[in-house]
């Protein structure tokens, strides 16, 4: 004698219920996205000021540098500030993990996708400071440099 759990009829009903459940969930996702405008959180690099990377003057002698690391460059790759400036660095990555070491300073950060790391530096000596990626990030790693130009 066949048991109820093993009958093809019960299996068919379970299969139909599973498909209805999955279809219902897809319909709810579509409703949330299309009618309610709900979406999953975007990347940090999709929003300003990280969309392109920016140097913003917030006060005389005070700057915020929003830097995006990307294979194999920093955006922006040249920051120009006058001597005596204090710069707050906010750093992220739009692809893989990169390094951010400013030669001649204490600034040594890691650029991590979807995270923002911070350091502050004061530039009292005019000149061109090199920014170096110190995390191996692929075939262009050795060319990944940026500059901070401190004008007199």
- At closest approach, how far in Å is the CB of 46 from ligand CUA? 20
* DSSP 8-state code for residue 106: S
31 versus 136: smaller Cβ distance to ligand CUA: 136
Question: Quick one: which segment of 19-27, 51-59, 114-122, 128-136 binds ligand CUA (CB under 6 A)?
Answer: 128-136
Q: Which residues are CB-contacts of 86 (< 8 A; sequence separation ≥ 6)?
A: 61, 62, 63, 120, 121, 122, 123
Size of the site for ligand CUA (CB under 6 A): 9
Instruction: Give just the sign of the alpha carbon dihedral 64, 107, 69, 83.
Output: positive
Instruction: Pick one of 119, 135, 147, 149: the residue that binds ligand CUA (CB under 6 A).
Output: 135
Instruction: Pick one of 51, 141, 147, 149: the residue that binds ligand CUA (CB under 6 A).
Output: 141
Instruction: Pick one of 102, 133, 148, 150: the residue that binds ligand CUA (CB under 6 A).
Output: 133
- Decide if 118 contacts 87 (C-beta within 8 A): no
Q: Which residues are CB-contacts of 120 (< 8 A; sequence separation ≥ 6)?
A: 86, 87, 88, 89
Peptide bond into 76 cis (omega under 30): yes
Site membership for ligand CUA, residue 65 (CB under 6 A): no
- At closest approach, how far in Å is the CB of 133 from ligand CUA? 3
H or E segment to which residue 122 belongs? strand 117-123
Site membership for ligand CUA, residue 150 (CB under 6 A): no
Interface residues with ligand CUA (CB under 6 A)?
Answer: 72, 98-99, 133, 135-137, 141, 144
């Amino acid at each position: 004698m066949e048991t109820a759990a093993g009958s093809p009829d019960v299996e068919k009903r379970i299969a139909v219920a599973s498909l209805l459940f999955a279809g219902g969930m897809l319909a709810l996702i579509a409703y949330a996205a299309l009618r309610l405008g709900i979406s999953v959180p975007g990347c940090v690099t999709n929003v300003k000021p990280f969309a392109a990377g920016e140097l913003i003057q917030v006060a005389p002698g005070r700057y915020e540098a929003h830097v995006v690391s990307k294979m194999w460059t920093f955006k922006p790759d040249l920051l120009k500030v006058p001597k005596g400036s204090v710069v707050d660095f906010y750093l992220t990555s739009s692809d893989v993990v990169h390094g951010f070491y400013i030669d001649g300073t204490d600034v040594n950060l890691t650029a991590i996708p979807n995270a923002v790391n911070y350091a502050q530096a004061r530039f009292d000596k005019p000149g061109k400071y090199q920014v170096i990626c110190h995390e191996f990030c692929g075939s262009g790693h050795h060319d990944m440099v940026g500059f901070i130009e401190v004008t007199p």
